[in-house]
């Protein structure tokens, strides 16, 4: 039976750090669903559909990865996809407390879920989507942080 994992997030925008986590997860699991949160109460730079398109462009032809969107409780989404593994990236020790709380709550809500924490390569431990948006807004160089298609979309967004 194929093992499916879900990697949820806003991916606003997807960064090379996210792509590193996706690559690492694909080495462990048969199928990975990159699940884009669709929370209309948040002020995203890109719409959910734009984020999905940017992720697909960034991944290229990877039949192991499905890109989807969801709203509501993550555990409900996991159940709907029959997935029992949740992927979360840890950049620094400061991420651990929040991620531990979320993993505990998710397990409380869905006892069959296991959270797997993956660390990106050290080149990406400082990288967040919010920092990338700030650099883009200030017209900084984005090449080291995001794929070319995302860089182009950010430049257009913050022109």
Annotated catalytic residues are: 18, 42, 91, 129
Closest CA to 86 of 3, 1, 5: 5
Per residue, the 3-state secondary structure of 83-149, as one string, reads CCEEEEECCCHHHHHHHHHHHHHHHHHCCCCEEEEECCCHHHCCCCHHHHHHHHHCCCCCCCCCCHH
63 membership: H or E segment, kind and range: none
Under DSSP, the state recorded for 72 is S
Distance CA 8, CA 87 (A): 7
Closest CA to 35 of 99, 101, 80, 3: 80
Closest CA to 66 of 150, 145, 5, 115: 5
């Amino acid at each position: 039976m194929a093992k499916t994992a879900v990697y949820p997030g806003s991916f606003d925008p997807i960064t090379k750090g996210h792509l590193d986590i996706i690559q690492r997860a694909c080495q462990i699991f048969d199928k990975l669903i990159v699940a884009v949160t669709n929370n209309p109460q948040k002020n995203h730079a890109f719409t959910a559909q734009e984020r999905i398109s940017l992720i697909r462009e960034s991944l290229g032809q990877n039949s192991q990865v499905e890109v989807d969107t969801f709203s509501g409780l993550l555990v409900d989404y996991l159940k709907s996809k029959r997935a029992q593994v949740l992927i979360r990236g840890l950049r620094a020790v400061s991420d651990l407390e929040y991620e531990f709380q979320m993993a505990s709550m998710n397990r409380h809500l869905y006892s069959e879920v296991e959270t797997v924490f993956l660390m990106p390569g050290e080149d990406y431990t400082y990288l967040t989507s919010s920092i990338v948006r700030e650099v883009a807004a200030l017209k900084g160089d984005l090449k080291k942080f995001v794929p070319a298609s995302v860089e182009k979309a950010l430049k257009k967004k913050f022109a």
